[in-house]
Amino acid sequence: MHIQTRTIHAGYSPQGPSQPVVSAIQPGTIFTHPEKGFDSSNGSYGYARYGNPNRNELETMLANLENGAIAAAFSSGMSAITAVFQVLSPGDHVVVCDDVYHGTRAVLNDIMIRWGLECTYVDVTRSENVADAIRPNTKLVWLETPSNPRMLICDIAKITRLVRAKTPDGAYIHIGVDNTWATPVLTNPLDLGADLVMHSCTKYIGGHSDVLAGAIISRENDTYIDRIRTIQKQTGAVASPFDSWMLVRSLKTLVARMRMHCENAIAVAKFLDSHPKVEAVFYPGLPHSPGHDIAKKQMRDFGGMVSVLFSAEKEQILKEIGSARLFKVATSLGGVESLWEHRQSSEGPRSKTPPNLVRMSVGIEHPDDLIADLQQVLDQL
């Protein structure tokens, strides 16, 4: 079935007469187990850190939407990403896209490298760079597309092919993709050969800026995801019953919301692209964008995120973006409301983002109203 149908029907299937159409929230932390003793396997529940019906429903839905075998839902996107790295051992090597989300870079640099992980950042827009960075001890390649905040596009299928060809005999290199910005509506990395998909469900999957959560989905039910699920349960950074229920609810409108985000984002990107106070627009939907051809191949549409370089100084940009009526100055993304932020300020002193870059999360308001709002801000810049 199409993803539009699966977002509505995957996960919960009421049986018997007079069942509620949607599932209930189960907040209980302990479950009775009179016959077998505590057993969290085979779909039975014992203790909420090990499993909960709402989390189970969310994981089933996410695995379905990403065409994966199994998923693990976490309390944030960062706890999900951290679990992926925690599977590895001291001395293992990871290859990571250079324009990675700054929080991912911070976990690698501040925590995992100190614990003995070796890490190489590469420009993954040239697929061969990934293969060239592979060493005998490489265990994981971590990609993000579109990347944050420069909207760079990497070719998941080509990178996968090159990595597989370069993998030493008897070894296996897992390829993980942070699919937060594209969502399963626009890209399915597992179908392109990746092994793991990650989501900050805080963004488009939640869609209303009111849930913090994350997830990993695996193509195979292999030992890597088994370790991730062990880390999830043992460390306890699990998605709560209420948050899981909220996300299942949000997923039902994901396709409709993404359609509107994409329509608005291309309208905003085109408007900005022709404006004299704009130096550059980063949006893979623009035909002259460097990643456009690959994006057309691996995405069903181009997403709701737009980054823009204004022809103005940092101080002036910081002052003027606050004068927008609709675009709220706030970090994060993926909610129904439009946001923008001076990205370098949000990323802090180690940021590599240009000082005149503003990152926009284009919401689902009427596009004419959004463009009128941008027009009045740009008139003052």
Nearest distance, CB of residue 307 and ligand PLP, angstroms? 13
Cross-strand bridge partners of residue 96? 121, 142
Which 138-157 residues touch ligand PLP, going by CB under 6 A? 144, 148
Q: Name which of 148 and 240 has its Cβ closer to ligand PLP.
A: 148
- Using the rule CB under 6 A, is 77 a contact of ligand PLP? yes
Nearest distance, CB of residue 360 and ligand PLP, angstroms? 13
Give, in order, the Cα–Cα distances in Å from 381 to each of 203, 312, 319, 326, 362.
Answer: 29, 7, 9, 17, 20
Question: Rounded to whole angstroms, how far apart are CA atoms 281 and 148?
Answer: 14
- Using the rule CB under 6 A, is 332 a contact of ligand PLP? yes
Contact segment (CB under 6 A) with ligand PLP among 62-70, 177-185, 295-303, 370-378 equals 177-185
Cross-strand bridge partners of residue 94? 119, 140
Smallest CA-to-CA distance from 235 within 380, 85, 113, 92 is with 85
Q: Name which of 141 and 278 has its Cβ closer to ligand PLP.
A: 141
Place of tokens 């990993």: 216
Is 49 catalytic? The answer is: yes
Question: Cα dihedral sign for 177, 89, 228, 235?
Answer: negative
- Using the rule CB under 6 A, is 351 a contact of ligand PLP? no
Binder among 3, 10, 61, 78 for ligand PLP (CB under 6 A): 78
Catalytic residue among 55, 150, 158, 203: 203
- Using the rule CB under 6 A, is 202 a contact of ligand PLP? yes
Task: At 307, give phi and psi (nearest 5°).
Answer: -115, 145
If binding means CB under 6 A, how many residues of this protein chain bind ligand PLP?
Answer: 15
Radius of gyration of the chain (CA): 21
What string marks each residue from 34 to 73 as x (binds ligand PLP by CB under 6 A) or -? ----------------------------------------
- Using the rule CB under 6 A, is 101 a contact of ligand PLP? yes
Collapsing DSSP states into helix, strand and coil, what is residue 191?
Answer: helix
Nearest distance, CB of residue 74 and ligand PLP, angstroms? 8
- Using the rule CB under 6 A, is 240 a contact of ligand PLP? no
First to last CA, the chain: 48
Q: Name which of 23 and 209 has its Cβ closer to ligand PLP.
A: 209
Binder among 138, 145, 180, 240 for ligand PLP (CB under 6 A): 180
Nearest distance, CB of residue 309 and ligand PLP, angstroms? 20
Catalytic residue among 45, 55, 99, 101: 101
H helix or E strand, kind and range, residue 138: strand 138-144
Is 101 catalytic? The answer is: yes
Nearest residue to ligand PLP, by Cβ distance, number only = 77
Binder among 214, 284, 304, 363 for ligand PLP (CB under 6 A): 214
Q: Are strands 305-310 and 357-361 parallel, antiparallel or unpaired?
A: antiparallel
H helix or E strand, kind and range, residue 257: helix 254-273
Q: Name which of 26 and 145 has its Cβ closer to ligand PLP.
A: 145
Catalytic residue among 92, 99, 155, 178: 178
Task: At 164, give phi and psi (nearest 5°).
Answer: -60, -40
Nearest distance, CB of residue 378 and ligand PLP, angstroms? 26
- Using the rule CB under 6 A, is 99 a contact of ligand PLP? no
Q: What letters, b where the CB count within 10 A reaches 16 and e where it falls short, cover 143-182?
A: bbbbbbbbbbbbbbbbbbebbeeeeeeeeebbbbbbbbbb
Residue 305: DSSP 8-state: E
- Using the rule CB under 6 A, is 290 a contact of ligand PLP? no
Binder among 7, 56, 76, 129 for ligand PLP (CB under 6 A): 76
- Please report the DSSP string for 51-77 in residue order: --HHHHHHHHHHHHHTT-SEEEEESSH
Collapsing DSSP states into helix, strand and coil, what is residue 141?
Answer: strand
- Using the rule CB under 6 A, is 354 a contact of ligand PLP? no
**Which stretches of the chain bind ligand PLP, using CB under 6 A?**
76-78, 101, 103, 144, 148, 178, 180-181, 200, 202, 212, 214, 332
Q: Give the catalytic positions in this structure.
A: 49, 101, 178, 203
